[in-house]
């Protein structure tokens, strides 16, 4: 395969050539679930159906900007096939391959705590479910492919900046070990898109783009909420049992109520593990509406996301959420539980009693506490947690917040602290400002003394501890300012930084000294600059 940082490939649009790849599509979602009798993108309320037939809107000049070799490999695509002109035609939405049956899914959702009614795939179009040579199912979805019945008043398009963020973050999260949807390709469309990025009455035309997202399933909590809200229990039951059969084949048995109960508990457990991983790496989703929650426990819909720079549990990257901070970093577990409660509410008509649903919600709490505690202990280099460790960890996190310390840099540097003679020196580069550091220096020294004593008591060789910590504490995360730098260059036609970041984020736990500049803390100029700190929900 070609390197991930090769120059972008200019693709032709010759309609006489066919893509030299054979996908095996079985498309169970649309084959086994009822669809909308009307085709096309006319905006409408869709009842009694899980999907609507709609084709991507062709673009004038599809061009491949970047691609993921790992995802291409999952789909049995060679580098030569990805580099073909036909690949750009298909994955920008200009052409469909045999077996593709494009559609947009119908779902609803709670947005910022309020029921929003029908939402659906407003600018995402599923191409089909491909089965690879290993028998794995991969749903291919184009984001920014044009209007659908669920686009409401929008144009169904996406701009380059948000598409770069989604493409890079999908792959960065995977390599960090966080459950996530993936991204195959990033395409330029050659067409401008009008957006008001900051909602301040100053829209501007921006370059358009399309991302091909890849996941075993794109079913969300909201897919179940919409039929339940309408009292369509036949459709709701059909969707639940379809999801059980296709996406959770390990849940077997003759008792349907028992299978549904175990399924809901599994959804709760997967969601808990996902959020625990978010907390481990300092990721903030930013828009945890129920329509943005995957039934598989995958991170989905990379909108106004961000990584914690200076540790702050109250930080949100979403300008729309700036006042109430509903989706702030430190509240993500509570919001996930609330969202699961809304899913339970939607499913309740299918259960003879509410107890299995309450048990599932309790499962979320238990799994999150266990996973979060285990991951945080690992971040601090504690191999065998014991009583008192929680207080030690909580005190450290409090100091990080008070002294404005970079989360990623602190944990990476903590592995360098010598337990026999703990010093603040390895940690100094993680502080953003001198004054808070001096004010809290004595408290840090006192904490380090207790920390050193705790680590020495474990009797682990320093090298083993350091290796364990470096395996869970990334050296590199996709900070917003790094993505913005790549976007600024890309909008000028220079994709080099996009390719470079994709390469760096493929090995986030390695030192990679040649890319050390990407491991630094957020520069002062990026503290309040749009795109470098908070983001809007605008595409």
Question: CA–CA separation, 102 vs 119, rounded Å?
Answer: 18
In this structure, what token pair is assigned to residue 498?
């996009």
CA–CA distance, 22 with 20 (Å, rounded to integer): 7
| 527 or 149, higher pLDDT | 149
Q: Which residues make Cβ contacts (< 8 Å) with residue 483, sequence separation at least 6? A: 164, 165, 168, 169, 501, 531
Grouping H, G, I as helix, E, B as strand and the rest as coil, residue 327 is: coil
Cα 479 to Cα 5, 13, 41, 106: the distances in Å are 19, 36, 36, 33
What's the confidence (pLDDT) of residue 8? 35
- Percent pLDDT > 90 in the chain is 88
**Pairwise CA distance, residues 37 & 418, whole Å:** 68
Question: For residues 248 and 267, is the Cβ–Cβ distance under 8 A?
Answer: no
Question: In angstroms, rounded to a whole number, what is the distance separating the alpha carbons of residues 379 and 388?
Answer: 16
Spatial distance between the Cα atoms of 528 and 309, rounded to a whole number of angstroms: 12
Q: Are 22 and 94 in contact (CB under 8 A)?
A: no
205: tokens are: 């035309």
Say whether 477 sits in a helix, a strand or coil.
coil
Query: Coil, strand or helix: which one is 180?
Result: strand
Q: Would the pLDDT of 4 be above 50?
A: no
Task: Quote the CA–CA distance of 467 and 416 in Å, as a whole number.
Answer: 10
Question: What's the pLDDT tens digit per position in 477-514?
Answer: 999 999 999 999 999 999 999 999 999 999 999 999 99
Residues 291, 309, 321, 406: which is the catalytic one? 291
Examine the pLDDT at 537 and tell me if it is beyond 70: no
Using an 8 Å Cβ cutoff, are 351 and 260 in contact? yes
Each residue's pLDDT tens digit, 251-284: 999 999 999 999 999 999 999 999 999 999 999 9
Cα 56 from Cα 40, distance rounded (Å):
10
Tokens found for residue 350? 């299918």
Whole-number Å distance between alpha carbons of 112 and 177:
28
Q: What is the pLDDT of residues 98-149, one digit of tens each?
A: 999 999 999 999 999 999 999 999 999 999 999 999 999 999 999 999 999 9
CA-closest candidate to residue 428, choices 449, 445, 454, 405: 405
Structure tokens at 405: 């310390």
Nearest alpha-carbon partner for 336 in 163, 179, 529: 179
Q: What is the pLDDT of residues 148-188, one digit of tens each?
A: 999 987 899 999 999 999 999 999 999 999 999 999 999 99
At 216, the pLDDT band (50, 70, 90 cuts) reads very high
pLDDT interval class at 530 (50, 70, 90): confident
Q: How confident is the model at residue 397 (pLDDT cuts 50, 70, 90)?
A: very high
pLDDT band at 13 (very low <50, low <70, confident <90, very high): very low
Residue 3 has pLDDT above 50, yes or no: no
Q: What is the pLDDT of residue 536?
A: 66
Of 532, 486, 504, 475, the C-alpha closest to 65 is 486
**Strand 158-159 vs strand 204-215: parallel, antiparallel, or unpaired?**
antiparallel
Q: What is the pLDDT of residue 103?
A: 98
For the stretch 347-380, pLDDT in tens is 999 999 999 999 999 999 999 999 999 999 999 9
Q: Has 232 been annotated as catalytic?
A: no
Q: What residues are paired with 103 via a beta bridge? A: 53, 126
Mean predicted confidence (pLDDT) in 193-198: 78
* pLDDT-based confidence at residue 15 (cuts at 50, 70, 90): very low
Q: Which of 402, 456, 462 is nearest to 433 (CA)?
A: 402
Start-to-end C-alpha separation, the chain: 31
CB 109 within 8 A of CB 221: yes
Question: What would the mean pLDDT of 457-461 be, rounded to a whole number?
Answer: 92
| Half-sphere exposure in the Cβ direction for 192 (13 Å, CA) | 6
Confidence (pLDDT) at 486: 97
Whether this model's pTM surpasses 0.75:
yes
Q: In sequence order, which ranges of 177-230 are alpha helices (DSSP H)?
A: 221-229
């Amino acid at each position: 395969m070609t390197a991930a940082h090769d120059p972008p490939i200019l693709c032709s649009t010759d309609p006489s050539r066919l893509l030299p790849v054979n996908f095996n599509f079985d498309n169970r979602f649309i084959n086994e679930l009822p669809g909308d009798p009307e085709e096309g993108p006319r905006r409408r309320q869709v009842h009694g159906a899980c999907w609507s037939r709609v084709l991507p809107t062709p673009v004038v000049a599809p061009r491949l900007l970047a691609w993921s070799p790992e995802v291409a490999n999952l789909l049995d695509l060679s580098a030569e096939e990805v580099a073909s002109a036909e690949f750009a035609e298909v994955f920008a939405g200009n052409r469909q391959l045999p077996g593709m049956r494009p559609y947009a899914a119908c779902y609803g959702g709670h947005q910022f705590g309020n029921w929003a009614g029908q939402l659906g795939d407003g600018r995402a179009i599923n191409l089909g479910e491909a089965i690879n040579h290993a028998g794995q199912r991969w749903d291919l979805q184009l984001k920014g492919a044009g209007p659908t019945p669920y686009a409401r008043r929008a144009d169904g398009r996406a701009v380059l900046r948000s598409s770069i963020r989604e493409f890079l973050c999908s792959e960065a999260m995977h390599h960090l070990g966080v459950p996530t949807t993936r991204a195959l390709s990033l395409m330029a469309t050659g067409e401008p898109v009008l957006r008001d990025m900051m909602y301040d009455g100053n829209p501007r035309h921006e370059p358009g783009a399309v991302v091909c997202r890849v996941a075993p399933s794109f079913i969300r909590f909201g897919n179940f909420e919409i039929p339940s809200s309408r009292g369509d229990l036949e459709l709701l039951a059909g969707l639940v049992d379809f999801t059980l059969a296709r996406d959770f084949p390990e849940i077997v048995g003759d008792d349907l109520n028992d299978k549904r109960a175990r399924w809901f508990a599994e959804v709760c457990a997967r969601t808990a593990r996902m959020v625990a991983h978010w907390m481990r790496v300092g990721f903030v989703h930013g828009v945890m509406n129920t329509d943005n929650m995957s039934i598989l426990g995958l991170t989905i819909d990379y909108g106004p996301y961000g990584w914690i720079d200076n540790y702050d549990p109250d930080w949100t990257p979403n300008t729309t959420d700036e006042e109430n901070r509903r989706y702030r970093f430190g509240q993500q577990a509570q919001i996930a539980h609330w969202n699961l409660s809304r899913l339970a509410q939607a499913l309740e008509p299918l259960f003879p009693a509410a107890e299995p649903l309450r048990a599932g919600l309790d499962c979320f709490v238990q799994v999150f506490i266990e996973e979060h505690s285990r991951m945080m202990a690992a971040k601090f280099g504690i191999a065998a947690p014991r009583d008192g460790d929680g207080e030690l960890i909580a005190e450290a996190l409090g100091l990080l917040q008070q002294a404005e310390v970079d989360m990623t840099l602190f944990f990476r540097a903590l592995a360098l602290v010598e337990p026999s003679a703990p010093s603040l020196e390895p940690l100094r580069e993680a502080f953003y400002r001198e004054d808070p550091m001096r004010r809290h220096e004595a408290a840090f020294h006192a904490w380090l003394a207790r920390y050193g004593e705790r680590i020495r008591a474990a009797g682990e060789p320093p090298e083993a501890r350091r290796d364990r910590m470096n395996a869970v504490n990334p050296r590199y995360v996709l900070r917003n300012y790094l993505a913005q730098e790549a976007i600024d260059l890309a909008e000028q036609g220079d994709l080099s930084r996009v390719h470079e970041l994709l390469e760096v984020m493929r090995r986030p736990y390695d030192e990679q000294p040649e890319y050390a500049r990407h491991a630094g803390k957020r520069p002062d100029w990026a503290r309040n600059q749009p795109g470098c700190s908070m983001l809007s929900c605008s595409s």
